[in-house]
Amino acid sequence: MPRRTSEKDREKVVKDETTRQAVISRALKIASAQGLAGLTIGRLARDLKMSKSGLFAHFRSKEALELATIERAREVFANEVLLPAEDGPEGIERVWHLCDRWLQQVEEQTFPGSYFFTGAIFLCARESGTVADTIRTATREWFVVLKRAVEQAQDQKEIEQEAGAEQTAIGLNGLLLGAQWGHLLGNDDSLKEARASVLRKLHSVATKKTPPRAFKSVRAFRSYLKDRDN
């Protein structure tokens, strides 16, 4: 007969999980700014005022810590960018909101630095192993969602069929990455300019279903979407 779980055992499980989540949260902040190379058991133990052995008991290896950190980053990105955009209507509106939310998470320093996921993919693109594979998978998730949004906009007759979905998504993603680089280099207007560039790109591939006046400015486009949805 299995032993019944005592209240003390349950409290320990809760405490262990709370500690684990605190470690991952701190690890994400470090990795966002300095990359996974900046993560060490020793540093985290010092930052969290834990013993190395106590922290090691939660992860057992640096790779396990890195994978847990990447998974947390994926969850944060999904909650900040993917899920809010996908809650809205399909079509050109969803494409816009995905790009807008992506820029917003840079503005709000959701990840304090450029590592997740912009820097990570450059470091790991040609690497092998579980960590590199997980980073590539997470990066592809974003691109797949963006490309699918373009395809859905084509199905809705809001983006021209002749505009390749993959090439359109690559172009939009390039504008976002360029804006982040400019932001990191101190260009305070890069994110604002990126939104205007995204709008111009959408205008260039949009069908006549969206009136030209909607593309006059970012403000005009947002007003058009708001009026359309009401």
| pLDDT tens per residue, range 156-214 | 999 999 999 999 999 999 999 999 989 888 898 999 999 999 999 999 999 999 999 99
**Range of 156's domain?**
70-229
Looking at the structure of the chain, the number of domains it has is 1
* The pLDDT of residue 115: 66
Residue 164: inside a domain = yes
Residue 59: inside a domain = no
Residue 54: inside a domain = no
Residue 104: inside a domain = yes
Q: In terms of pLDDT, which residue wins out, 116 or 153? A: 153
Q: In terms of pLDDT, which residue wins out, 201 or 120? A: 201
CATH assignment at residue 218: 1.10.357.10
- Are 28 and 77 in contact by the 8 Å Cβ rule? The answer is no
Residue 3: inside a domain = no
Residue 18: inside a domain = no
Is the pLDDT confidence value at 81 over 90? Answer: yes
- Whether the model clears a pTM of 0.75, i.e. scores above it, the answer is yes
Residue 56: inside a domain = no
Residue 139: inside a domain = yes
Tokens of 30: 């470090």
Averaged over 108-119, what is the pLDDT? 79
